[in-house]
Amino acid sequence: MDHVISGVAKFQRDVFPGKKAAFKKLANGQNPEVLFITCADSRIDPNLVTQTEPGDLFICRNAGNIVPPHSNQTGGMTASIEFAVAGLGVTHIVVCGHTDCGAMKGALNPEKLSSMPHVKEWLGHCRCATEVVKEKFGNLDNDRLDDLTKENVLQQIQHLRTHPSVAAKLATNQIQLHGWVYDIGKGTILCWDSASQTFEEMEQAYAESKVV
C-alpha cells in the first residue's frame, strides 16, 4: 500500500501541475467518445494500452468483461451502459477481453467455484460462450481458454444489443461496437472482423474500419 500512497503524492507533485489546464476543464464535465468495457484484472490498464488521457474513455470493469443481458432488474453495468450511451452520447463501445483471464478459467471449470457462489452466479452470463465453444470444438477443457476468451467477447456484444439505449443508437447508425482481445504477454490487440468472421491483428482489422 505504501507505493500507492507515494504514487498519489507523486501525482500531486509532478503530474497534476503539468496537466492543470486539462483537469480544470474536466472538473466541469466529461465528453468521452468511447465506452470501454473490460475485465477487472489488475494487469489491464485501458488508458495505458490505448494511450489515452483522462476524459477520453468511460470505463466499466468487472470480472470477465461481462455485459448482463438487459432486464428490468437494475444493476451497475446496466445503469453504466445506459448513462454512457443515453447520457454521455458515446459513439463507440469496446468490449475487451484478455489472455490468461481468471474469469474465463472459472467458466471452464465451474465446479471449482463452490467456495465463491457469487462469482459462479456471475459467470452464468458466460454460458452462451461456453456452449458455443463446446459445440464448435466438442470439448470444454483448459486448452480452450483462448477460444472461450474470444467467444465471450462476441457473446457480451450480443448482450449489449439487448440494451434499449444501445439498440436505439445502432438502429440509427449512431454507435459502433468493437470486440477486442488484449494479449498481456505480447502487448498486441486482436479485433473481431465481421467480414472474415475472425479475430485479426488490429491494423489489419481496422484497415477498412470494420466493426462488429
- Annotated binding residues for Zn(2+), as ranges? 39, 41, 98, 101
Give the C-alpha distances (Å, rounded to integers) separating 157 from 40, 42, 80, 126.
17, 23, 15, 12
Q: Are 139 and 152 in contact (CB under 8 A)?
A: no
Count CB-CB contacts under 10 A for residue 16.
Answer: 12
Instruction: Order the strands of the 57-62 sheet from edge to edge.
Output: 57-62, 34-39, 92-98, 176-183, 188-193, 198-201
For cell 503530474, the residue is: 15
- Binding site residue list: 39, 41, 98, 101
